[in-house]
Amino acid sequence: MDFKFSKDADPENKQPATEKGSQNSLLLLLLILIGGFAYLYFFTGLIRPQQEQQSAEAPAPQVIKNPLPPPAGQNGAVPAAPAATALSATPEQKSPEPAPATTAAVQEPQKNIETPKVDPKSKKKDLSSVPAAVSATPKSSAAKEVKKASSSVPVSGKKPVAAAVTPKAPKEKTHAVSGTKTAKASTGKPAIRVPDASAVESPWTVVVGVYTLEDTMATDMVRVRKAGFDASVQAGPRKTMVMNRLYLSEFPERSAALSELNKLKRHTSDAFILEQSGTFAVYAGSYLLDARAASERERLAAAGYPLTVKRVDVSIPTRKLTAGRFSNKQAAEAALRKLKSAGLKPALTR
């Protein structure tokens, strides 16, 4: 068999292979381009310049630093600044230059304003400081209004000038001014206190008695409490009374007197020593009642101590027994009658 090969057979078979290779290369190139575009779009900001411009054009919030409040000791001296600026801002008939002073005073609170740089990534943090910037705008507008008002103040009136210039001061100064006003008001004439009628009238006190003997006072105290009153004991005036002293003997030396006193104290606890003109006298006791002195003398004489009674005037303390205090005389007199019916001898004092 004879096989014949034509020259056109090879090009027809090669054309489909070359077309497939070119299509694959184009498809691969397209995928690479799509991937690069997606990377640039989603992971970089090169393809979205408009959003950056919009975020950059966002208004920068302003942070206002208010002046620190004056110290506690300088409260009276700080408020003088607004008054001085108010007086300097009042235009006079002869001096035509009050306006620069007012403008300078108005612009003083704005020196503390700082404009920080805003980072586009810290957008959420800046939103929290937006109210501070919003609150700053009324102050600037109020300052402009104060400037206009100061320029339009009449020449003859001083009160309108003070009313127009006072809004430019910060809040701390206004509080200080009000504090000085109250301080001035308080430093004026002291208020006259009108005493109440109950405070002027002293209360009535029911005095049951003044006692020198504890036993007598104790019995009367029981009677007062049985009558339904609160008994109280107070220190009374000193009284000069005649005392019965039981004299033993005198000694020229103190040591001898002390030795005799120690022997005597074995029988009575009322013994004591008195120094008289260089000598030391030993006494077995001092008693107000004659009966008590006589009984004690007999008892110690039986123990071997002969005693002599000496009557001496002595200033002794007393105790005052009271049965309450009353605001009016009627109640005090009623208590007085009740205590008299109980066998006591009370008295009213004021």
Angle at 41 between CA 39 and CA 43, to 5 degrees: 55
| Residue 349: predicted pLDDT | 87
pTM over 0.75: no
DSSP 109: G
Distance CA 181, CA 248 (A): 82
- Find tokens 């009370």 and name the residue: 346
Of residues 135, 168, 13, the one with CA closest to residue 64: 135
Of residues 282, 243, 240, the one with CA closest to residue 259: 282
| Residue 277: predicted pLDDT | 86
- Kindly report, residue by residue over 144-190, the tens digit of the pLDDT: 554 444 444 444 444 444 444 444 444 444 444 444 444 444 444 54
Higher pLDDT, 201 or 30: 30
- Kindly report, residue by residue over 239-253, the tens digit of the pLDDT: 898 999 999 999 999
Distance CA 205, CA 348 (A): 6
What is 47-103 written as a DSSP string?
S-HHHHHHHHTSPPP-EE-PPPPPPGGGTTTTTHHHHHHHHHHSPPSS----HHHHH
Q: How is domain 200-238+317-350 classified at the CATH fold level?
A: Alpha-Beta Plaits (3.30.70)
Q: How is domain 240-315 classified at the CATH fold level?
A: Alpha-Beta Plaits (3.30.70)
What is 159-171 written as a DSSP string?
HHHHHHHGGGS-H
- Do residues 95 and 199 lie in contact, with contact meaning Cβ atoms separated by under 8 Å? no
Phi, psi (degrees; rounded to nearest 5) at 107: -80, -5
| Residue 73: predicted pLDDT | 56
Higher pLDDT, 58 or 310: 310
**C-alpha radius of gyration, the chain, whole number:** 56
- Kindly report, residue by residue over 103-127, the tens digit of the pLDDT: 443 344 444 444 445 454 444 444 4
Model confidence at 96: pLDDT above 70: no
Of residues 57, 129, 343, the one with CA closest to residue 216: 343
Of residues 228, 77, 93, the one with CA closest to residue 157: 93
Mean pLDDT of the chain: 70
Stretch among 51-60, 61-70, 235-244 having the lowest mean pLDDT: 51-60
Model confidence at 222: pLDDT above 80: yes
Distance CA 320, CA 327 (A): 20
